[in-house]
Amino acid sequence: MAVFWWQGSQAYALDVAIIETEMVKASRWIAENTEADSSIAAHDIGALGYFGKRGIIDLAGLVTPEVIPIMRSEVDLDPFLDQHYADYLMTFPDWYPRLVSGRELIYSTDSEFSPQAGGENMAIYRWR
């Protein structure tokens, strides 16, 4: 039991560290460095909605349900973001390699925890 408790606490600590240093950090950056009327496209919107204080285009479809039929198609998401007037895209680059290709990277968290866990850093790209 103690081993499982220890492993669980370590996993939980890593998850919290990743959320704080990736999602929360990027969302705070958005709040401090983008225009108040900006629209941010993102797949992971929890921290962005709370800390970002900007309009959100939800690439997971929770608050933007019209994205659900195309959420796995970068070819369709590209014009969708244009039609919905996205100003920025906040994502882990490997999640949407086609969408971020050629886009101006304006911020990356450069935190250590996500890469240590086999992931990458959250990045913010200028969309238009």
125 near 81, Cβ under 8 Å? no
Dihedral angle of Cα 93, 21, 89, 59, to the nearest 10 degrees: 90
Q: Which of 118, 111, 60, 56 is nearest to 85 (CA)?
A: 56
Q: Containing domain of residue 68, as a range?
A: 2-126
* Residues in contact with 27: Cβ distance below 8 Å, sequence separation at least 6, in sequence order: 47, 48, 50, 51, 52, 90
The terminus-to-terminus CA distance of the chain in angstroms comes to: 53
- What tens digit of pLDDT does each residue of 64-116 get? 999 999 999 999 999 999 999 999 999 999 999 999 999 999 999 999 999 99
Per-residue confidence band for 2, with pLDDT thresholds at 50, 70 and 90: confident
Confidence (pTM): 0.91
Q: How sure is the predictor about 118, in pLDDT bands with cuts at 50, 70 and 90?
A: very high
Domain tally, the chain: 1
